[in-house]
A = this chain, B = another copy of it.
Amino acid sequence: MGIEIERKFLVRGEDWKAWPAQLLSQGYLSRDPARTVRVRIAGDAAFLTIKGQSVGASRAEFEYPIPVDDAVALLSLCEGPRVEKLRRVIPYAGMQWEVDEFLGENAGLVVAELELLHADQGFECPPWVGAEVTDDLRYFNSALAAHPFSRW
């Protein structure tokens, strides 16, 4: 178990596109914000991830590696459409930013996430980082599975 402390921002421009991308495909066995259960395939790896209720930027997180074959079968059990995105990990000022370019029904949405060690940790924003959306529930990936960006 761990506590995930994460801040989330909209992304501007296209400068982040130069970095290599990995395709993530994920679905939800539970989209309840108090207990989301996510199935994710990332290349040749797969994970089952449980997250608790968000309190500000913090959230309990439990992640277990599972066989990719299991993940494929579990995705077919998931609620609603799956979420697909290209993830780029971009270092900036000593931090690792994760830039997610959403595909499919969420195409057009690009979000940057920054994982912190504690909630009031300072950091420097790259020039392509826009408005913060950490507290906006619509940007939760579990919410994007139910209410994709194209239908906002």
Interface residues of A (CB under 8 A from B): 1, 29-30, 32, 34-35, 37, 48, 50, 52, 60, 62, 64, 66, 69-70, 73-74, 77-79
Contacts and interface: CB of A to CB of B under 8 A. Distances in A.
Nearest to A66: B64
A119 B32 CA distance: 34
Contacts of A32: 30, 79
* Most B-side CB within 10 Å, residue of A30, A52, A78: A30
Nearest to A34: B77
A29 B50 contact: yes
Contact of A60 (B1, B30, B73): B73
A73 B1 contact: yes
Contacts of A77: 34-35, 50, 52, 60
Given A1-B69, A32-B79, 4 more contacts: A1-B70, A30-B37, A35-B79, A48-B64
A32 to B, nearest CB: 7
A60 B69 CA distance: 13
